Amino acid sequence: MSISHTTHTLDNAELRNFYEKAGFRGRVGWGERPALLVIDMAGAWTSPEEMLGSDLSAVEDHIVELLGAARRAGLPIIFTTMAWDPSLSEIGEVIRRKTTHSVRMLHGSTNVELRPRMERRPEEPLVVKPRASAFYGTNVDGMLISAKADTVIVVGCSTSGCIRATAESAFNRGFHVIVPAEAVGDRSQTAHQGNLFDIDARYGDVEPVADVLETLRALPARADA
């Protein structure tokens, strides 16, 4: 059975109902120990003049709010970027040919540096990932387990790529996945909307930023916050 003439967006009640009848869009909710994953808020993705970039200033504003609430509660916070050695040997031919921007994502370049407004603290690791998912080829899984986290709040970019891939990996590992809708972004609005719908249907709970902030602010404050 299929449904036609619909817009692939969270606002489409008809499509949501169609997916629910197919056994998707179950609500998982929050676990007991959330962590915040900030995905690729670095120069190449967030500077409109860059080959890969787009205007994510509104997304950045929401992430800054979430970072403040997470730090107040003493939650684990992990940042990611994507970078390779200038030799390009670790990228591989397939990746270079499919995503030609990859050759610009080099260690030490401004393209892979975090946005200054992230204000990353010394205790907040910056993970350099080789592929879209924050879990692929990294120790993010181990860090979350060590922190006893059971919930990951995924923010950053891009919704159709690294956000979706990270949400899927976290779901496959048994984490509760929360995606604040306004705190993720994409260079394509249609890709953003379609992938938010799919993440909400298959991998996690997409929630308004205001609701996520309310949950975080209800957590006890860290003693030294």
User: Residue 2: pLDDT above 70?
Assistant: no
Q: Could you give the angle at the alpha carbon of 104 between the alpha carbons of 101 and 106, nearest 5°? A: 135
Rounded CA gap, 53 and 222, in Å? Answer: 36
What's the pLDDT score for residue 83? 93
Give residue-wise pLDDT tens across range 129-176.
999 999 999 999 999 999 999 999 999 999 999 999 999 999 999 999
- Catalytic residue list contains 162: yes
Evaluate whether the domain defined by 27-217 bears CATH number 1.10.3720.10.
no
Catalytic residue among 162, 183, 184, 196, which? Answer: 162
Task: Look up residue 135 and give its amino acid.
Answer: F
User: Residue 5: pLDDT above 70?
Assistant: no
What's the pLDDT score for residue 225? 57
Residue 47, both tokens = 């500077």
Question: What's the predicted TM-score (pTM) here?
Answer: 0.96
Residue 116, both tokens = 């200054």
Rounded CA gap, 107 and 113, in Å? Answer: 9
What's the pLDDT score for residue 165? 98
Q: In this structure, are residues 21 and 13 in contact, taking their beta carbons and an 8 Å threshold?
A: no
What's the pLDDT score for residue 221? 94
What's the pLDDT score for residue 175? 98
Rg (CA), the chain: 17
Rounded CA gap, 63 and 19, in Å? Answer: 29
Q: Could you give the angle at the alpha carbon of 97 between the alpha carbons of 91 and 100, nearest 5°? A: 80
Residue 66 DSSP SS3 = helix
The per-residue pLDDT of the chain, averaged, comes to 95
* Residue 190 confidence class, pLDDT cut points 50, 70, 90: very high
Mean pLDDT of 61-87: 97
Nearest to 143, CA basis, from 42, 68, 217, 36: 36
